[in-house]
Structure 1
């Protein structure tokens, strides 16, 4: 079995470019982290951990690809690890939880994170997957279609129908009751994200 060739080290110019790109995605990382854990202090810890891991793994980042998608996977995997260690269990604060999904046009009322999680679990799996990728993951329709192995039009249709369903549920107040454990729903959705990201082939960034 042939040994893997070591990755070439970055030149000073390449490291400077990497640092610049990494810095530019910090606001996106912070917003996503706060949406995940609902705690600004813990979100900042997640972002810091993500930055350190990304910097250490920069030789594995392929220039020209999406820095946001790459660092998103690193952050999400760090969060999943913390979830498994019970770090965030029971730490949800809806007062500071931010939206992780793109709200339908004209919707001004805030969506509580746990409410959205419970509502998401009622969607058909393929629509939930598409909405998580495009809404929570920040992937383009083209990227989401590549992940799911379907046409771009199919992804757009799934996302549109998912948003319409959620918008109707929120407008009618038809959100599942809190008898569903919020932390369980939260972990279920993140585990689903973990699976679709693994299929993308960029989950190796979690190390």
Structure 2
């Protein structure tokens, strides 16, 4: 029998309107309570608004006769905790936006690659071959063997090729 007495009917329209008025009257108390968690007035407003929205959507779950203030404070605290956990998992705001925006444009590099390819055609065959082998990651010893020259000669060819490219391209590609 005691389990039946704990079941209460959902509040009727008149009771719902009365509860909604009490919620409006408790809004300043909710704002004061939210200040314990947040400092920014905008964040406080957002938290209180989200709390009020959740409370009004869940009004059918409120048990008349219990403390409405405690019920609202519990919703506010739980909402804050949920938002806090979400913010820890997901970067938000300006930092996340800056990470996405800070991607270098590829068009400029495509143009520079074309300039470099064109400039390479003006190099002598031995300098071009020495430079491309070394730039591709081939060791100086292996590149010298492939070019049929000594390591010192290969290093000179690479150095001269870099100097020529730097002059042709205005020093902004070859460093």
TM (norm. structure 1) is: 0.38
| Greater fraction of residues in helix | 2
Bigger RCO (CA 8 Å, 6+ sep): 1
Larger Rg: 2
